[in-house]
Structure 1
Amino acid sequence: MTVRGPVLLGLDVGTYSSKGVLTTLDGQIIAQHVVAHGVSMPAPGQVEQDADAVWWADAQSLIRALLETVDPTQVMGVACSAIGPTLLPLNKHGQPLRPGILYGIDTRAGAQIDALNHELGEELLFTHSQMALTSQAIGPKIRWLREREPDVWARTQTLTTASSYLVYRLTGRHVMDHHTGAHFMPLYDPRTRQWSETFCPAVLADRGLDLLPELAWSDERAGEVTSEAGQLTGLLPGTPVAVGTVDALAEAISVGATQSGDLMVMYGSTTFFVLVQPLSTPDPRVWSVGGAFAGQVNLAAGMGTTGSLTRWMADEFARDLPTEQAYGALFAEAARIPPGADGLLMLPYFSGERTPINDPQARGVIAGLTLAHTRGHLFRAALEGVGFGIRHNLEAFRDLGADIRRVIAVGGGTKGRVWLQIVSDVTGVAQEMTQVSLGASYGDAFLAGRAAGVLAPEDLQGWIQPAELVVPEAAAKAAYDRLYPLYRELYTSTRSVVHALSRS
């Protein structure tokens, strides 16, 4: 099928799949395409992906598939988002020197976090960056690279991230959005919104800030498609390309979470939170970062293992079924189990945990198992454990006085209506759904329109149509209110044992 008229192209590279979409200028979806991929785990706590074989290969595949629907001359703009913040070192030719080191689920830099806190002082680092050093921070991972892979470090000429690498392959320009740049702490100053030399020696040693990309806002134009990129993708050289951002921020844009008080909850391989604020409210438990558009401020947070936990359970407990059938069976079984999973309680920290406990040595814990429990009980407990983790993050936001006016849910996990209901019951908050819940690539399409100069920020509201409101059920909420203190206690009471096991 072919269509006429101008279109926008959005691309998103996620943890386990990449998605692309073509839209009209008013947000109507013309075509979409998905490519699956995996991750590499070379050692405990290390999670990586190949920048060319996964990120760039997926982008090329998606673009070519989408261009079967339209003529390249119809594409007014392109925008990319990707998992982040990630760390990717490039040589002087712009070629990757090693696989990309992923975001907070990669916990390899614990020793470097400790060293930086000791050398520079936790309070000083927090005051400077408005965030505490955690596994989400890129500065410690840069130091890990310098200390553990000196040969790679010696050849490094650019330090970039996944979305920025895609933009570089399309335009030849190294540029990074402010939301991602804030996570390259302590090299970013949130007050000046510029790279800062203050802590360069501790992170970069004798190297300078010229290793880092230029900084810009997500919806600004990074450049245009080069002749080489055009040959590889089929895009018309000269097509505008947006600066882009991490997948979570693009997800927030995709559901219209761009006004003060809007909170996006992204149900993906991890669960991510983006709250739009009028002013920054720094706190060590969560992240204070730039927003999508010039001058915006976000309060952000992220759990370590949510959708990837349900995937693991489908792989391990329903391996006799194809993936989609496995999910269907597990969700159906979980729906028949009462709140509380008949006495089961699970900590979903299977890859350590990010916010609000920021504990890379945390691990999954299942308490209360009996011979009467089934895989349906375990799956229900996993969904509830994620719900308790979401509640923990929302409480941290409220402790800071954050004004959460509405909660919008998005991402692949929203297909499981049972899960959404559990989360609303656990947290006591209603969750809005939109008619288009395609996710980050849809938000990228809007960013493409902004970079091309054919859309204004207020045009986004015309793209967003409400679909459903998931509200808490009183009886279930009462049950979860009784269990939540036990969930919190389970972590504190098992922490020393779990930490010892993580070091074994």
Structure 2
Amino acid sequence: MSALFLGLDVGTSGVKAILVAPGGDVVASATTPLRMSTPRPGWAEQDPEAWWQASVAALRDVLAQRPDDSVAAVGISGQMHSSVFLDRAGQVIRPALLWCDGRTTAECDEITRRAGGEDRLRDWVMNAALEGFTLPKVLWLRRHEPDAYARVATVLLAKDFIRYRLTGVLATEPSDASGTLMFDPARLRWSDELLAAVDVPRALLPDVGGSSDVLGRVTGEAAAACGLAEGTSVVGGGADNACGAAGVGVVAPGEAVASWGTSGTVLAPTARPVVDPGLRAHTFCHVVPNVWYVMGVVLSAGGAFSWYREQFARELASPGASARLDAEAASVPRGAEGVTFLPYLQGERTPHRDASARGALLGLSLAHTRAHTTRAVLEGVSFALRDSVSILQSLGLAPASLLLTGGGAKSPFVRTLQAEVYGLPVQTVNREEGPAYGAALLGAVGVGAFADLAAAGKATLTRSALEHPDPAAHRAYDDVYARFRASYAAAQPAAPSAQR
């Protein structure tokens, strides 16, 4: 019998639970799928109670795989920004508005106006008011569902809601709080200045603890539901992107990681808060104390490819569909012979900050095949992430290489494509459990199994050899990337025609 560390990740497409042995091996894994509701175009919601039921199912499944072992600590990761509205009894008031929900453009404008402009937002919360963040969702609820808003006693984030159901404790930690637009990442506190400007009570927000601090223990009721032992330590955990970076060892300045999940990110840790003057990228707290990160976000990365595969390659049998599509894409030249894909299926964050942007396939002719469109989709996602790489470089955060994780790391063809598009060497890591692994390491640090996350990563992670791009291929992609950038106007919705 051994003591294991449990990582739980509350994602958009599912809840994942893993058990990690003291040496770093993942000894059990379970995932329970989730569905996203889109009541209107650009809207995205999920029921927090569905997160809890999926968490219970994943926990029971993973624990059943190791019935003779105990769990020393639990770490939780989760989708950022998504708003959980609770009443005074701790009951969910309405479905959560998700990170990819784009309904709050008017509220973002209101926040910017009431704050006194983006320069003030930069000073107070280090980020622009964007539709995905939590504060605009609070204001949307106040404007459009005033009866529901009147009942709100607490606003939580996804992983904090699951910790609340496990422990009965209302709390958050800096990495997730940074994505609410209500937290000051530089001063590590809720921004009383911005809350006052928009007239949102500080009392709606939970206390903030450390990502590796024990913030609660499993209650008897939760233990009976999910199978964890009563009293098990539950640490603060972290936002999915920060936990994902921790889970592959990107916790120190000078490094960077590019991730393909449903969304895509490029994340670079910093030793001090660094803010993009144009607020095109985000500045958030890392799960490591006294470390921040700058991150560019593509709202549809793996999500764009999944959509494409479902709509254009449904006849291909899974799990071999992606490999077959990769082979088709590799059969056509770089640049897909003029086909360009814009991956803005849910709007876009970096660099455009445009919730109304939409996807497009451009340049099609009768000579083109699915192989061309597949290559264009993979290149389009990579070009969108290159936008973020370019912003990091402009801020002086110029990594010598990129660690790849998520769906874009699994395929040799896509790894090579990314290296050529970015013009940087790429590598992978031996752990591909995503944010759940970083959350498990936070739990291990929280109960003293490792001195800190750097020590945890050193003991558990191994990186592959660098894969260097062909310089000529990178130069060839410069022209194709320029074509991609010039095509952004096609992502704008057409103006309604005038009435005659």
- Same-fold status (TM-score > 0.5): yes
Note closer, same or farther for the CA distance 1:501–1:261 as it changes in structure 2 (3 Å cut): farther
Q: What is the alpha-carbon distance in structure 2 between the residues aligned to residue 412 and residue 494 of structure 1?
A: 27
Map 1:110-149 to 2 at 5 A. Answer: 110-120=105-115, 121-149=117-145
Give 3-state SS (helix, strand or coil) of 1:469's partner: coil
* Aligned residue in 2 for 1:19: 16
Q: What is the alpha-carbon distance in structure 2 between the residues aligned to residue 409 and residue 501 of structure 1?
A: 42
Match of 1:92 among 79, 88, 92: 88
Map 1:440-459 to 2 at 5 A. Answer: 440-457=435-452, 458-459=455-456
AA matched with 2:259: M
Q: Deviations over 1:194-240 (max 9, x none)?
A: 1122122443x3x5211111112211111111111100011101110
Structure 2: where are the runs of 5+ without partners? none
> How far has the Cα of 1:190 moved from its partner?
2.5
AA matched with 1:421: T
Note closer, same or farther for the CA distance 1:323–1:96 as it changes in structure 2 (3 Å cut): farther
Map 1:276-291 to 2 at 5 A. Answer: 276-283=269-276, 284-291=279-286
The two structures have a TM-score, normalised by structure 2, of 0.95
Map 1:127-206 to 2 at 5 A. Answer: 127-185=123-181, 187-203=182-198, 205=199
AA matched with 1:153: Y
AA matched with 1:263: A
Note closer, same or farther for the CA distance 1:501–1:334 as it changes in structure 2 (3 Å cut): farther
AA matched with 2:28: A
Q: Do 1:271 and 1:303's aligned partners in 2 also have CA atoms closer than 8 Å?
A: yes
Give 3-state SS (helix, strand or coil) of 1:467's partner: coil
Note closer, same or farther for the CA distance 1:79–1:281 as it changes in structure 2 (3 Å cut): same
Q: Do 1:276 and 1:296's aligned partners in 2 also have CA atoms closer than 8 Å?
A: yes
Q: What is the alpha-carbon distance in structure 1 between the residues aligned to residue 41 and residue 188 of structure 2?
A: 35
> How far has the Cα of 1:110 moved from its partner?
0.4
Q: Deviations over 1:440-481 (max 9, x none)?
A: 111111111122222221132111112343321233222211
* Aligned residue in 2 for 1:225: 218
Q: Does 1:237 align with 2:230?
A: yes
Q: Do 1:72 and 1:235's aligned partners in 2 also have CA atoms closer than 8 Å?
A: no
AA matched with 1:433: T
* Aligned residue in 2 for 1:248: 241
Larger deviation: 412-421 or 278-287? 412-421
Structure 1: where are the runs of 5+ without partners? none
* Aligned residue in 2 for 1:469: 466
Q: Does 1:316 align with 2:311?
A: yes
Greater than 6 Å deviation, 4+ residue runs: 501-504
Note closer, same or farther for the CA distance 1:166–1:384 as it changes in structure 2 (3 Å cut): same
Map 1:297-316 to 2 at 5 A. Answer: 297-316=292-311
Q: Do 1:16 and 1:38's aligned partners in 2 also have CA atoms closer than 8 Å?
A: yes
* Aligned residue in 1 for 2:423: 428
Q: Do 2:256 and 2:402's aligned partners in 1 also have CA atoms closer than 8 Å?
A: yes
Q: Do 2:271 and 2:290's aligned partners in 1 also have CA atoms closer than 8 Å?
A: no
The two structures have a TM-score, normalised by structure 1, of 0.94
Q: Do 2:7 and 2:74's aligned partners in 1 also have CA atoms closer than 8 Å?
A: yes
Q: What is the alpha-carbon distance in structure 2 between the residues aligned to residue 216 and residue 407 of structure 1?
A: 31
Q: What is the alpha-carbon distance in structure 2 between the residues aligned to residue 280 and residue 72 of structure 1?
A: 45
Q: Deviations over 1:252-287 (max 9, x none)?
A: 111100111111111111102221111211121111
> How far has the Cα of 1:326 moved from its partner?
2.8
* Percentage of pairs with the same residue: 32
Count of matched residue pairs = 494
Map 1:362-373 to 2 at 5 A. Answer: 362-373=357-368
Q: Do 2:272 and 2:290's aligned partners in 1 also have CA atoms closer than 8 Å?
A: no
Q: Do 1:304 and 1:349's aligned partners in 2 also have CA atoms closer than 8 Å?
A: yes
Give 3-state SS (helix, strand or coil) of 2:130's partner: coil
> How far has the Cα of 1:382 moved from its partner?
0.6
Q: What is the alpha-carbon distance in structure 2 between the residues aligned to residue 499 and residue 451 of structure 1?
A: 52
Q: What is the alpha-carbon distance in structure 1 between the residues aligned to residue 114 and residue 396 of structure 2?
A: 32
Give 3-state SS (helix, strand or coil) of 1:402's partner: coil
Q: What is the alpha-carbon distance in structure 1 between the residues aligned to residue 221 and residue 432 of structure 2?
A: 33
The CA RMSD over aligned residues, in Å, is: 1.9
Give 3-state SS (helix, strand or coil) of 1:401's partner: coil
Q: Deviations over 1:392-451 (max 9, x none)?
A: 111111111114244211113322222221111111011110112121111111111122
Q: What is the alpha-carbon distance in structure 2 between the residues aligned to residue 86 and residue 320 of structure 1?
A: 34
Note closer, same or farther for the CA distance 1:271–1:151 as it changes in structure 2 (3 Å cut): same
Q: Do 1:11 and 1:444's aligned partners in 2 also have CA atoms closer than 8 Å?
A: yes
Q: What is the alpha-carbon distance in structure 1 between the residues aligned to residue 48 and residue 124 of structure 2?
A: 31
Q: What is the alpha-carbon distance in structure 2 between the residues aligned to residue 499 and residue 215 of structure 1?
A: 44
Q: Deviations over 1:169-202 (max 9, x none)?
A: 11111111211112221x2223321112212244
Q: Do 2:73 and 2:235's aligned partners in 1 also have CA atoms closer than 8 Å?
A: yes
